[in-house]
Every structure is written in structure tokens, then in C-alpha cells.
Amino acid sequence: MKRIFGMECEYGLTFSPNGRIYLPIEKILGYIFEGLIPNSWPSNAFLTNGARFYQDTGCHPEYSTPECDDIFDLIVHEKAGDRILESCLPAAEERLREEGLSGDIYIFKNNTDSLGNTYGCHENFLMRRDVDFWKVAEQLIPFFVTRQVFSGAGKVLKISGKPHYFISQRAQHIHEKTSSSTTSSRSIINTRDEPHADAERYRRLHIILGDSNMSEYAVYLKVGTATLVLSMVEDGCIIPGIELEDPVKAIREISRDPTLKKRVRLDDGREFTGLEIQRMYWERASEYLQTQPPDKVMLDILNEWGRVLSGLEEDPMLMVKEVDWVTKKWMIQSYIDRRGCGWDDPRVAMMDLQYHDVNRKRGLYYLLAARGKTAKVVEEEAVERAMTVPPQSTRAKVRGDFIRFARAKNRSYTVDWTYLKLNGYWEETILCMDPFCAFNRRVDELLAQVPAARLNP
């Protein structure tokens, strides 16, 4: 089940000034990037950990993890994006003070703003080119539509003037089953075919309907179950008659029901809850794993998947700590019960947002984590290391090594997912088409020219 996967996370950004001075958000974003990527702003920029940071549409900072072939690597590098952005805040606020301004910069790992705009958390899975993509997509769509029961981040929205708690932040912004667009007609499965690898062997499965998760456990289960189901479908282990009558309608209906009792209709007229459809995939995945060589991680994912589905079926509130939308709902309900206020209280809307603050000193998720109210999957030391060090078993290691060399030699360079280029005199381009390959002879020769001490991240 060896596979390359990665995540792209767009962050919300806002500035709260001490006074009435308006400052364009573009300028704030520039301050954030200044210390992180010397002399590179506002261009695309890859980091020494192999990841990519850049400005996305709508002036959002976006972090793309390096290529990972291990789910735990993916989790630590996804969390490393949060830490990198958090680490930029003090210097950015200091730059403001140097210009005679003061205030607080907030970065939120969420998917919607107060004006109803949305920004994404995209998942990428390298998949086989020799399988029928559209048949795979038809099998995957019901899985992704219903996966929100454990991967949703939760959101308080007003419907006809009354507050309502939704499971997913992105569900209401999905308009198509499949589409090549990521903005004008957001879809469940994006069809843009950019494998960043040997196109004759691979294509990229690009999923854009998911929420950004604060919970490490939710990321583990979200990506792990998708990996397992994709492998299962690629190998021809399918679920007959699972197609939804209206997937876009279904994803919205499931999101609006935190009791998880809402039934959605299949093409053949049968109706099931999101939990029941997930259970069908779980049962088929159980059969599939019995035919495969032992895989400790996939077996653990299968067991955790089943445990969470059972817990959600018994009482969703049993999944506090593991599932973001449940944890947030519990947090807000506890506050309402203590204060005697309603869901329409402005403080509830503020809590809904502050749950996603990447600043660990004020983000409500991290305050819950400090009280043992969240499930840990990876060690913080691993996350801190991932801020500067790439995965050691994929192409990202070659990219990170090359960037460290170029910076140590003060050489101008250009980097993309599949190539490395030294600019100027003795210009040279190094192709890296195999995402599984963590070695490049030419990059090793370049590294040998620089003392090890100067290559430290």
C-alpha cells in the first residue's frame, strides 16, 4: 500500500489594530513571509522541510506539505505548517510597531470567514494511472460525502435568522460531483490531472471538500481511511449499488444534522444515514485487508474507524477529544450551560472562530489540549523537527537538501515539485520525477561542497 500523499491548507488571516488605522491584508501577509522566506516574497517559495508556502487567491497564506509516504509523517508536517505560521507572528507584529502601528495578527486554521467566503483544505493521493478514474471516483464519492461524520470541523451558522450547528464548514460550499475548478464550481473530487510524477504511471487524486482539522486524530482518521478505501477500490474491491442519487444535496443534508440521523437516498431508492454508509465501507475494507499482506498502520486505522463509528452511533458526544465538530460543540454547549446564554450569543460566534486560532497561547483548541481534552497522535518534538527537516523517505528530502545547499552558498535558485534549478552562472537543472526517491547523486555532490555546519536547517 505504498503511496505518496500530501495536504494543502489555506489559512484565514485578520488584523485587529489598536486604534482605527486600516492596513491592507496584503501588507500583513508580506510581513508574515518576510522572515520566513528571505528575498522571495511574493513568489512561490519552497522551504528547507520540502514544503511550499505561498499566497493563494483571496490573500490567504497557504501551506502545502512535502510529499509523504507515511501517515504519521504527514500529520507532523501538516501540524508543522501551523507552527511555522505561528512562529512568524512575533516578527510580523514587531514590523508593525516599527512603522508606528500596533495590533494583533490572527491566523485561523478554518474554512470560512464572517462574510461567507470559503477557503480549502485539499488532500492529494498519488494513484495508479492504469485504473479507470471515473469508476474509482463513483466509488469514492459516497465515502467522501459521508466521511464528515468524523472529519468535520463544525460551524455555527444562521438559517432564517436562527443559529444552527453544522458538522462541516465546507459542505455548504460544494456544488458539483466532479470539476476541474477549485473556486467557481467546487466539487467533491477535483479532476485536475497534475501528478507531479511520471504521468504514464500515476495521476493525482485531488480532494477539495474536506475541512481543516485542528485534531491530530481527525487528520489521522481522515487521511488513513481515504488511503485504505482508495487502495481497496484500485484493487477492484468495490461496493455495488453505493452511488448517491444527489451527492451535493446529500453532503449538505448530512452536515446540517449533528444527531447523525438524517438519511440520504441512493440511486436505487434505498436510504441510509451517513454512519450506515460509512459502516458499509468499513465492512468492505475489513474484508479487503484480510486478503492483503499484514499492515500494522492500516489495521490500526480500520480498528479506530470502527471504534469511532460505533461511538458516534451510540452518542456523538462520546467522541469528544477525537472529533473536531464534537469537541467544539461540547465546548460551546458547556459554556452556554455555565453562562445561561443562547447559541445566538456573540461570544459563541467568537468561540467558534477562536477554536481554530493557531496561536497556542490563545487558541481554544490548544487550551483544551493543555487540559487533556484532545487526543494526541504525534509528539511535539517531531512537529518542531518537521518545521525545518523534510521526510527522509521521499523526494522532499532531495528538495530540502538542495535548498539548504543553495542558501549556504548564497546561490539564486528556482524550485518546483519536479525540478531543482541553480540560476545564473553555471546554471543547472536537476529533474526529480520519482516522488518515492529520496536520493539524487547530483544533489549529494553539491552538498559535499559545503561544510556540514553550514547546512544546518
Q: How many domains does the chain have?
A: 1
Phi-psi category of 255—alpha, beta or left, where left has phi over 0 and alpha has psi -120 to 50? alpha
The pLDDT value given to residue 190: 86
Label residue 280 by pLDDT band (50, 70, 90): very high
Does residue 400 contact residue 447 with C-beta atoms inside 8 Å?
no
Is the residue at 420 inside a domain?
yes
Q: Max CA-CA distance within the chain?
A: 70
| Cα(66)–Cα(388) distance, integer angstroms | 11
- pLDDT at position 225 over 80: yes
**Average pLDDT of the chain?**
92
The pLDDT value given to residue 79: 98
Mean pLDDT value across residues 376-395 = 97
Is the residue at 180 inside a domain?
no
Identify the three-state secondary structure at position 8. Answer: strand
Label residue 12 by pLDDT band (50, 70, 90): very high
| Cα(217)–Cα(376) distance, integer angstroms | 7
Is the residue at 441 inside a domain?
yes
| 13 CA to centre of own chain | 17
Q: Mean pLDDT: which of 83-97, 154-168, 184-198, 215-229 is highest?
A: 215-229
In sequence order, which residues have a C-beta less than 8 Å from that of residue 293 and are 6 or more positions away?
Answer: none
Mean pLDDT value across residues 243-256 = 97
Q: For the segment 418-442, what is each residue's pLDDT rounded down to a tens digit?
A: 999 999 877 889 999 999 999 999 9
Tell me the three-class secondary structure of 351-387, residue by residue: HHHHCCECCCCCCHHHHHHHCCCCCCCCCHHHHHHHC
Q: For the segment 127-170, what is each residue's pLDDT rounded down to a tens digit?
A: 999 999 999 999 999 999 999 999 999 999 988 889 999 999 99
In sequence order, which residues have a C-beta less than 8 Å from that of residue 136 and are 6 or more positions away?
Answer: 127, 205, 230, 233, 234
Q: For the segment 91-110, what is each residue's pLDDT rounded down to a tens digit?
A: 888 888 888 888 899 999 99
Does residue 17 contact residue 105 with C-beta atoms inside 8 Å?
no
The pLDDT value given to residue 41: 44
Is the residue at 409 inside a domain?
yes
Domain that holds residue 405: 392-455
The pTM score is 0.94
The pLDDT value given to residue 17: 83
Is the residue at 328 inside a domain?
no
Mean pLDDT value across residues 239-248 = 96
Q: For the segment 44-73, what is each residue's pLDDT rounded down to a tens digit?
A: 689 999 999 987 766 788 999 999 999 999
Give percent above pLDDT 90 in the chain.
Answer: 74
The pLDDT value given to residue 55: 79
The pLDDT value given to residue 180: 66
The pLDDT value given to residue 184: 58
| Cα(128)–Cα(92) distance, integer angstroms | 43
Is the residue at 440 inside a domain?
yes
Is the residue at 418 inside a domain?
yes
| Cα(60)–Cα(12) distance, integer angstroms | 6
Label residue 175 by pLDDT band (50, 70, 90): confident
Nearest to 107 by CA among 413, 366, 420: 366
Q: Mean pLDDT: which of 260-269, 404-413, 421-430 is highest?
A: 260-269
| Cα(263)–Cα(249) distance, integer angstroms | 11
Residue in the structure block whose three cell numbers are 523534510: 390
- pLDDT at position 39 over 60: no
In DSSP notation, 104-119 reads EEEEE--SB-TTS-B-
Nearest to 196 by CA among 419, 360, 385: 419
| Cα(105)–Cα(317) distance, integer angstroms | 33
Tell me the pairing of strands 187-190 and 176-179: parallel
122 phi/psi in degrees, rounded to 5: -100, 140
Label residue 120 by pLDDT band (50, 70, 90): confident
How many Å is the Cα radius of gyration of the chain? 22
Residues identified as active-site: 56
Phi-psi category of 196—alpha, beta or left, where left has phi over 0 and alpha has psi -120 to 50? left
Is the residue at 5 inside a domain?
no
What single DSSP character describes residue 241? T
| Cα(84)–Cα(36) distance, integer angstroms | 8
Give percent above pLDDT 70 in the chain.
Answer: 94
The pLDDT value given to residue 42: 43
